[in-house]
Chains A and B, each alone.
Chain A
């Protein structure tokens, strides 16, 4: 984790305090409460809708819904998780509506039963997180993610980017825990394959790089 709160406990207490104030009716403080999560809310919506304008609209709708239902939030849940679950729900509803309108094909909910065989075992040097400072690296990573099938992308984004746990991911998407695990495995291995391939094609060529020999 590169972004570390200077004092996480203080952050939580401040958040609890803000939640209590908004619950008492100070709606004008709501933006301050959700600001730390606005990026994650947007990313969750984008993972499902794949369209920036729709994702932004759904992110806003989800926040308004959260404001309207703030009294239902219970302190035992994490506020960020609650917010993301509302967002996922909004985004799924939006997609369902759009699908009905466009009479598109029904989603394939089946998990691939066959085992996934990694394509590339190249011992790619670890991409240091500092590389994320570079826009083209972030772009390549985003493109790799966008190329995944929807069912893998959604699970991966919720678990590995939004940091929901397996159970929360399953609940948010309305699928089983076993499905989350299967899809997560595939998503991670496919992304590794995609990025390992990119490595050899020179995506990260400006990074310090020594050409290694394959270990087998």
Chain B
């Protein structure tokens, strides 16, 4: 197979893409070996692709990132408030359902959120309005300023009640006093007591 210059010009972009069949590729390679004009065209075209493909070719207006971040933050807030409008509408409906269906049926609706960590105890005696922080990718909630917060630069502040509802579990360091109280509470379940007992055992070992 032999190709002339016109055929090469027609296929040069596909050649760069690797989108020509083997026969044509060989013929074009042979042509580039003998035709300096087409070889120059190939190199120039490749250079164009390489230059424009460089990230530095994309320039954004000054402050673009900052404005985008702000608008996305607004968007995220709107999404949350839309959700609260919807949930506000849901409350009377749920209340109505409670009255008509009776307490038993209503109780069956409150499915507890699964804990994000299965090896932890729920924080039952933590004041619900206590301000706590959670961080991206972690499963625990903490007292603000706790030493063992992972991803400290990505923390979110919320109330203990919300954190528990979202499935976060109390940090065994900064929330320890609440966990110990939980273990002696008559309402606490067996695994909680067992875990708390372990924590106490650890304490004893440390004081020794």
Q: Which A residues contact B (CB, under 8 angstroms)?
A: 1-3, 17, 21, 26-31, 34-35, 38-40, 42-43, 52, 56, 59-60, 63-64, 67-68, 115-118, 121-124, 126-127, 129, 132-133, 138, 141-142, 145, 156, 160-161, 163, 166, 181, 184-185, 188-189, 191-192, 195-196, 215-216
Contact = CB atoms under 8 A, between A and B. Distances in A.
B44 interface: yes
Interface string B133-159: 000110000000000000000101000
Contact of A185 (B10, B40, B59, B136): B10
Interface in B41-88: 41, 43-45, 47-61, 64-65, 67-69, 71-73, 75-76, 79-80
B80 A27 contact: yes
A216 B55 CA distance: 36
Given A115-B6, A160-B52, A163-B53, A121 B40 contact: yes
B105 interface: no
A156 B51 CA distance: 12
A30 B78 CA distance: 14
B13 interface: yes
Interface string B1-24: 000001001101110110100000
B37 A121 contact: yes
A196 B47 CA distance: 11
A191 B47 CA distance: 10
B108 interface: no
A196 B40 CA distance: 11
Given A141-B52, A160-B53, A30 B76 contact: yes
Given A56-B67, A188-B13, A141 B73 contact: no
Contacts of B60: 38-39, 42, 56
Given A27-B76, A156-B52, 20 more contacts: A3-B54, A21-B137, A26-B156, A27-B75, A39-B59, A40-B58, A42-B64, A60-B68, A132-B54, A133-B56, A138-B56, A141-B57, A163-B53, A166-B19, A181-B13, A185-B12, A185-B14, A188-B16, A195-B48, A215-B40
Nearest to A61: B71
A40 B76 CA distance: 22
11 contacts: A2-B55, A21-B137, A26-B136, A28-B73, A28-B76, A60-B71, A115-B9, A115-B10, A118-B9, A124-B44, A192-B45
Nearest to B53: A160
Nearest to B49: A160
Given A2-B55, A31-B73, A132-B54, A17 B137 contact: yes
A210 to B, nearest CB: 15
Contacts of A67: 72, 75-76, 79
A59 B61 CA distance: 12
Contacts of A52: 61
A1 B53 contact: yes
B110 interface: no
B36 interface: yes
Contacts of B43: 126
Nearest to A193: B44
Contacts of B61: 52, 56
A28 B97 CA distance: 34
Given A39-B58, A127-B51, A161-B57, A184 B72 contact: no
Nearest to A120: B44
Contacts of A38: 60, 64-65, 68
A172 B60 CA distance: 22
A138 B57 contact: yes
Contact of B67 (A60, A116, A122, A142): A60
Contacts of A60: 67-68, 71-72
Contacts of B9: 115-118, 189
Nearest to A35: B65
B52 A2 contact: no
Contacts of B71: 60, 63-64
